[in-house]
Amino acid sequence: MDETYRAPPLSFSSSAPLCTEEALRESEKNFRTFFEAIDELASVISLEGRILFTNGAFRRRTGYREDELAGMNALELELPENREKGAETFAAMLRGELKSCSMPMRAKDGSHVLVETRLWFGRWNGAPCVYTLSKDVGPEQEAQQRFEAAFRNNPAMMVLASLPDQRCVDANTAFLRTLGYTKEDIVGRQAREIGLFIDSEQQREIGAMMRNDGRIAEYEVRAKDRNGDVFHGLMSAERIYIHGRPYLLSVTVDITVRKRAEEALKVAKEQAEWLGRQAEAANRAKSAFIANTSHEIRTPLNGVVGFLDLLSRTGLDDVQREYVEGIRSSASSLLEVINDVLDISKIEADKVELKLLPTDIRELAGQAADSVLGTARTKGLHLTVNVAPEVPKALFLDQSRLKQVLINLLGNAVKFTHEGGVSFAIGCEDAEDGRSLLRFSVEDTGIGIRPESMERLFEPFFQADASNTRKYGGTGLGLSICSALLQMMGSELKVESVPGEGSRFFFDLRAERVMGSEAAEEEAVRTVPEEPFMPAERPAILIVEDEELNRRLLRLLLSKLLDADIVEAEGGEQGVERFRERSPDLIFLDLQMPERDGYWTARKIRELEEAGRRTRIVAFTADVQPATREACFASGMDDYISKPADLFTLREVLERHLQPKT
């Protein structure tokens, strides 16, 4: 307490009405009890300004004892710098010019207590006095200061608007900075006056939500900044009360970057979908190109192979036979190239299906080795085949695809080896559940593979030597096909190589053992019986083919196999007419023909058939893609063979679809 301060006496207006002394005496005790019970700071001050009484709340908040406050001048509780102003303020309140005042008091420990004070006249102990009630507004002020700090410094955009007119009262720094406004631009104005919202409907929805719910939660808005640029925000709003008045506090998070990213992602997705459709169209075009190319190449090749087969059965001298075999070898090489291209196309389209059949692994190994034995002998190479004794006799394998892999690996080994030889080995380890683990290895003493070529060795069309002067030919598809086929079988093709010393290709393959059964005979040597096929009745066979050479070849091949009435048609419409005229027992139908193709022809024939009768239709085509085969059966055909066909294949077709003579 400041002992040196001598405050001037307070000046009171004697004109204010006073309670009677008798009434004050009767109620004084009640006042004391009431003042002690309330939370507000209560005091009684004499007309000279001396403190006569303080309640417990007053003493607790200021830290003084009752005896310390008794007789103290009320202005001594003011801050020294505020005492003159405090005297003037209290005088104005006593004159009735002010209803209340907000000024800090100084507590005993020197801290400040912000109070809002009201006063009125009365009597205490029979003498005139002033009653004061002070509300501690420090917590409210602190809360307000915290709110203002959060409001100003919040990274989200915040606006305070009055209700119900929704005029802006204040906006924080983030709002002004983001949208480019000054406070003068927006205070006192509504959003529509500023031109903030792009969509007036959104503004109506915001108003409706506030009226109905009193709040808004994460509502996405589109607005414009001062320059007219579009802004995207996620808005939440709540009705709050300040000094009893309602306000709308809105908080908006800037999501412009996110929205632009979403729009960019949407555009990218649409572009990706468009590119996907383009890629799909390109893939269909590629498939169509491969099918057409296959047809165009296989069609003349069918004639080459077929007529060579017929020619080899005539009386030839040694020189002529040598020439025929040379042509046959070239045709076989060309057919291998076509098959490689078609295989990689089918693998890429995921159209290859494995067929697991009982397979004699030793016979399969022998057939694969026999395919390169002649070339190896010509080059003076030794070829060894070692199948371990523990390898089961029969296993469930896709013998055709596995044989394709082995022939390719052996063919490459012989092709790239000039001295020494090639070793082909198959080992075995027992696995669980009736399965065996086979280990295949093809090792050579050839030119080897450079390290820089090893990583790309299994890529389609890759060749270790791609120059125009390369010594070794080929499409570069063989190893890629082998790798893809083995992956489908659950295996992986691996390689070890030293340039100039040789290479080793190897892989492991798990296969189920065949119990109590011999291997399938599907890969046995294909020989045509000498005796002709004898059907129960002399059949009528219709050939529908637009290429005259192919019709002639097929007629000659069929005539080698059976006695039949063979009718020809040059296209689909003529084929339908021949069907009406002759009612054939069997139809060989080409697919790709001008005007009316084979699919149309097959469907038309099925429409014309009498009830209970079904003529067997065999698709005879150069297009060997799986989708083509499926389309043939879908259009009503019964069988499917590819060009070029041989006598053995045709014999099988006849046996399947014509009743043999008993």
CATH of the domain at 447: 3.30.565.10
Note whether 508 and 548 are same-domain residues: no
Higher pLDDT, 297 or 657: 657
What is the pLDDT at residue 21? 57
Note whether 150 and 28 are same-domain residues: no
Three-state secondary structure call for residue 14: coil
Is 582 inside any structural domain? yes
How large is the average pLDDT for residues 490-503?
91
Whole-number average pLDDT of the chain: 80
How large is the average pLDDT for residues 202-213?
77
Residue where a domain stops, chosen among 193, 219, 254: 254
Is 240 inside any structural domain? yes
Angstrom CA distances, 614 to 287, 604, 611, 657, stand at 32, 13, 8, 11
Is 317 inside any structural domain? no
Most confident segment among 31-35, 168-172, 433-437: 168-172
Note whether 435 and 491 are same-domain residues: yes
In this model, does residue 219 exceed pLDDT 70? yes
Least confident of 165-169, 418-422, 586-590: 165-169
Is 295 inside any structural domain? no
For residues 603 and 611, the answer to whether their CB atoms sit within 8 Å is no
Looking at beta carbons, which pairs linking 363-370 to residues 24 or more positions away fall under 8 Å?
Answer: 363/519, 363/523, 364/397, 364/399, 364/402, 364/403, 364/406, 364/523, 365/406, 365/424, 365/426, 367/403, 367/523, 368/403, 368/406, 368/407, 368/410, 368/424, 369/410, 369/424
Calpha distance 632→640 (Å, rounded): 8
> Which CATH number covers residue 227?
3.30.450.20
For residues 176 and 159, the answer to whether their CB atoms sit within 8 Å is no
What values do phi and psi take at 341, rounded to 5?
A: -60, -40
Question: pLDDT for 520-551, tens place per residue?
Answer: 444 444 566 667 788 878 899 999 998 888 88
Chain centroid to CA 256: how far? 24
Is 195 inside any structural domain? yes
Note whether 399 and 508 are same-domain residues: yes
What is the pLDDT at residue 344? 61
How large is the average pLDDT for residues 455-473?
52
Domain of residue 57: give its range.
Answer: 21-136
Is 49 inside any structural domain? yes
What is the pLDDT at residue 327? 79
Most confident segment among 222-231, 311-320, 484-493: 484-493
How large is the average pLDDT for residues 311-339?
75
> Which CATH number covers residue 605?
3.40.50.2300
In this model, does residue 92 exceed pLDDT 50? yes
Chain centroid to CA 252: how far? 31
Note whether 386 and 474 are same-domain residues: yes
Angstrom CA distances, 299 to 158, 302, 303, 334, 586, stand at 78, 5, 7, 13, 21
How large is the average pLDDT for residues 496-510?
92
Calpha distance 200→502 (Å, rounded): 80
What proportion of the chain, given as a percentage, has pLDDT over 70? 82
What is the pLDDT at residue 18? 44
pLDDT tier at 616, thresholds 50, 70, 90 = very high
Note whether 423 and 398 are same-domain residues: yes
Note whether 371 and 509 are same-domain residues: yes
Note whether 123 and 201 are same-domain residues: no
What is the pLDDT at residue 4? 43
Higher pLDDT, 352 or 202: 202
pLDDT tier at 599, thresholds 50, 70, 90 = very high
Note whether 132 and 154 are same-domain residues: no
What is the pLDDT at residue 513? 84
Question: pLDDT for 188-203, tens place per residue?
Answer: 888 878 878 777 777 7
How large is the average pLDDT for residues 119-138?
83
Note whether 479 and 619 are same-domain residues: no
Note whether 501 and 580 are same-domain residues: no
Calpha distance 463→456 (Å, rounded): 9
In this model, does residue 183 exceed pLDDT 80? yes
Q: What sign does the CA torsion over 649, 652, 658, 662 have?
A: positive
Give the predicted TM-score (pTM) of the model: 0.40
- Burial letters 10-37, b for 16+ CB under 10 A, else e: bebeeeeeeeeeeebeeebeebeeebee
What is the pLDDT at residue 590? 92
Residue where a domain stops, chosen among 513, 531, 559: 513
Is 306 inside any structural domain? no
pLDDT tier at 337, thresholds 50, 70, 90 = low
How large is the average pLDDT for residues 117-128?
83
For residues 503 and 413, the answer to whether their CB atoms sit within 8 Å is yes
Residue where a domain stops, chosen among 117, 136, 155: 136
Note whether 549 and 465 are same-domain residues: no
Least confident of 324-333, 344-353, 409-418: 344-353
In this model, does residue 505 exceed pLDDT 90? yes
Domain count for the chain: 4
In this model, does residue 1 exceed pLDDT 70? no
Is 605 inside any structural domain? yes
Q: Which residues are CB-contacts of 303 (< 8 A; sequence separation ≥ 6)?
A: 549, 550, 553, 644
